[in-house]
Each structure stands twice: as C-alpha cells, then as structure tokens.
Amino acid sequence: MKPVFLILIIVVYLGCENHDDLSMADRFMKQVETESYNEMFLPDLKPSDISILLKYRNNQKVLNKFPANPVSSFICDSVTVGAVALSTIESIRLSELFDAENEFNNFPSNPCLIDTSNQVKYRFAILDTVAILYYNWWINSNLTDIEKININPLFGTTYRWNY
C-alpha cells in the first residue's frame, strides 16, 4: 500500500510542476511582444542567450511600451520587438565586457538606432541592416563567445545605439 501511495504523490507532484519549455530569453521576448514586461532591469541573460534573442531580430511589431534605460532622457519612437532584441544583445555584450556582477549594467540599452552619416532616414532600413550585422557577428563566426563579446558588431559602420 505504501509504494502505491508514494507513486501517487510523485505523479501529483510532477503534474503540478510548470513544464514551461521556454528559455528565460524567450519568456522575456514574449513579454516584450505582449508589452507586459514591467521590470526596471533586464533578466539575467548571458551570452548563451544571444542566439535565442537573434530569432526576434526581424520582428517589426511596433511597441508602445518597451524596456528602456530609465536613466537616459532619450525617448525613441517606432520601437520594434526586433530593436528590443538587438539592444538586449548589446546590453549583454556590454555587461560581459565591463562588469557582469554589477546589477546596474543590466539596465536595458535604449532600443534606438541612429545613422551618424544621416544617409539612411528610414528607421526600419537601419534596423534591417543592423540585424544582419548582429546575426553575422554571432552566428556566422568561428570565434568563441568570449572573443565575439569583445567585438562591437557596429564597428566600422555609421550605425550607433543612441543612449
């Protein structure tokens, strides 16, 4: 009788467990997409999450509410899910470079891109180009994650994050 009772308890316990297969990065991006992310800081994402975040780079859904650095006074317009994904990747990169243990490095970067040459006026064209740059930097490289983190994907371009 006791083994049956024990098995029943185990089955009930496993049935109550949350079987959410989404990674922390996927959950974060789903909250961004539904405009339900309400935290001041980004979740504790690591370089291993960058590949997951890159899946969202081309999502052009425009957001009314999005994670942005509360210290910065710059406000963006027409921020997309893709821009938030890429700026989160940049936040991960900078946190790893400068001080991963300092929670203030987990402030989100502002998801606002600019072209310092002013030749590209259409925001979505900038985002499309930057998405390719980040993808090639991370996915199409034979470098280690640590070596990649030390490379600015926007280096040598006229594109910048507007902090």
Q: Where are the domains of the chain?
A: 41-161
pLDDT digits (tens, 9 = 90+) for 67-98: 877 666 566 767 899 999 999 999 999 888 88
pLDDT at 12: 46
Query: CA 126 to CA 119: how far, in whole Å?
Result: 10
Q: What is the rounded average pLDDT of the residues 20-44? A: 91
Ranges 34-43, 73-82, 130-139: which has the least confidence = 73-82
pLDDT of residue 107: 64
Inter-helix orientation angle 123-138/81-98, to 10°: 50
95 neighbors 52 (Cβ within 8 angstroms): no
- Torsion (CA) 20, 35, 68, 146 in degrees, nearest 10: 30
pLDDT computed for residue 101 by the predictor: 59
Average pLDDT value for residue range 59-71: 84
> Which pLDDT belongs to residue 98?
82
Spell out the long-range contacts of 69-73 with Cβ–Cβ below 8 A and sequence spacing 24 or more: 69/107, 69/108, 69/109, 69/110, 69/163, 70/40, 70/107, 71/107, 72/110, 72/163
| pLDDT at residue 3 is higher than 60 | no
